[in-house]
């Protein structure tokens, strides 16, 4: 059982943050350990309060997890401040051999800021060069690069700016792009790959970014290539959205264990690479090379 360490904030509604990461990591075949950076009071309607944990406690959590559980991959989410970013960066510089998925969580769906403005430059300078993959949405890509992102071409342009900062690959998520399909754009030294899925008309999308990044980290921990990990995670999160849960009065969460609630559990386990493939495997979205 491979361990994935999620370094992120706690979401009391359990749709995003640490709680979503744990569910996604477990659903995708790995074991989730956590380093909590902040505690938020939130529900499906928004973030109502947030408290950043002291950096010495964050550092103690990092040491406790890495010294005993020996993670095979790391995923970060809400880091809140420059001090937290620097604390996490120091820990990861000692472990550069680990696949590291950086989800640059900046703003909640409700508009609540989750990353202080002074921490943005720190994130780019100290943490981004350590990342195997960075997974910004459209708005995060724009804030990090200054590039106006609208479609796959401009998403790729923004991703190249981030590649110049030293990360190995960038996946600009397609939920907010002006494209017919939900098209995620993966850019690395190998070129540009597009991963498409149908747009689903549902309000229940709370935590989708956390879920996607955590799923990618889980597959990387189990030895998948980056392209394969993205492809499988895209399939997983699309179906989790399709099965979204109508909980609360706002944006409900995705269903992280959708494949346990039907008659095709075995087929979905095969599609996600958690069982040997067979003829019954659902068709996964294949990456399409753009260049």
CB 243 within 8 A of CB 222: no
- Give the residue among 71, 96, 76, 98 at the shortest CA–CA distance from 1: 71
Find the length of the chain: 291
Q: Which residues are catalytic?
A: 173, 205, 207-210
Q: Distance (Å, rounded) from C-alpha 143 to C-alpha 28?
A: 30
CB 189 within 8 A of CB 288: no
Q: Distance (Å, rounded) from C-alpha 68 to C-alpha 89?
A: 19
Pairing label, strands 169-172, 288-289 = unpaired
Q: Distance (Å, rounded) from C-alpha 215 to C-alpha 36?
A: 18
Alpha-helical (H) ranges within the chain are 17-27, 55-68, 82-93, 117-122, 138-145, 152-163, 208-221, 226-242, 265-271
Token digits of residue 96: 């550069």
- Give the residue among 149, 199, 204, 198 at the shortest CA–CA distance from 172: 149
Coil/strand/helix, residue 230: helix
Pairing label, strands 288-289, 100-102 = unpaired
Question: 10 Å Cβ neighbour count for 258?
Answer: 19
């Amino acid at each position: 059982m491979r361990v994935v360490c999620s370094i992120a904030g706690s979401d009391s509604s359990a749709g995003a943050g640490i709680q979503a990461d744990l569910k996604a990591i477990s659903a995708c075949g790995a074991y989730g350990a956590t380093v909590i950076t902040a505690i938020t009071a939130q529900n499906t309607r928004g973030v109502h309060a947030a408290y950043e944990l002291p950096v010495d406690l964050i550092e103690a959590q990092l040491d406790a997890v890495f010294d005993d559980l020996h993670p095979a991959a790391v995923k970060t989410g809400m880091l809140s401040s420059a001090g937290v970013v620097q604390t996490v960066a120091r820990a990861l510089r000692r472990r550069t051999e680990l696949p590291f998925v950086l989800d640059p969580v900046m703003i909640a769906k409700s508009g609540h800021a989750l990353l202080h403005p002074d921490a943005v430059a720190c994130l780019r300078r100290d943490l981004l060069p350590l990342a195997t993959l960075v997974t910004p949405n459209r708005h995060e890509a724009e804030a990090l690069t200054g590039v106006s992102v609208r479609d796959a071409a401009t998403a790729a342009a923004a991703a190249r700016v981030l590649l110049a900062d030293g990360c190995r690959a960038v996946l600009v998520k397609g939920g907010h792009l002006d494209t017919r399909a939900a098209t995620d754009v993966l850019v690395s030294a190998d070129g540009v790959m597009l991963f498409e899925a149908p747009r689903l008309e549902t309000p229940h999308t709370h935590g989708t970014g956390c879920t996607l990044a955590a799923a990618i980290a889980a597959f990387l921990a189990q030895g998948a290539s980056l392209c394969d990990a993205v492809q499988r995670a895209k399939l997983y999160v699309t179906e989790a959205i399709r099965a979204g849960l109508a909980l609360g009065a706002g944006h409900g969460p995705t269903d992280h264990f959708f494949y346990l609630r039907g008659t095709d559990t075995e087929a979905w386990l095969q599609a996600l690479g958690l069982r040997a493939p067979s003829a019954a495997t659902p068709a996964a979205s294949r990456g399409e090379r753009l260049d």
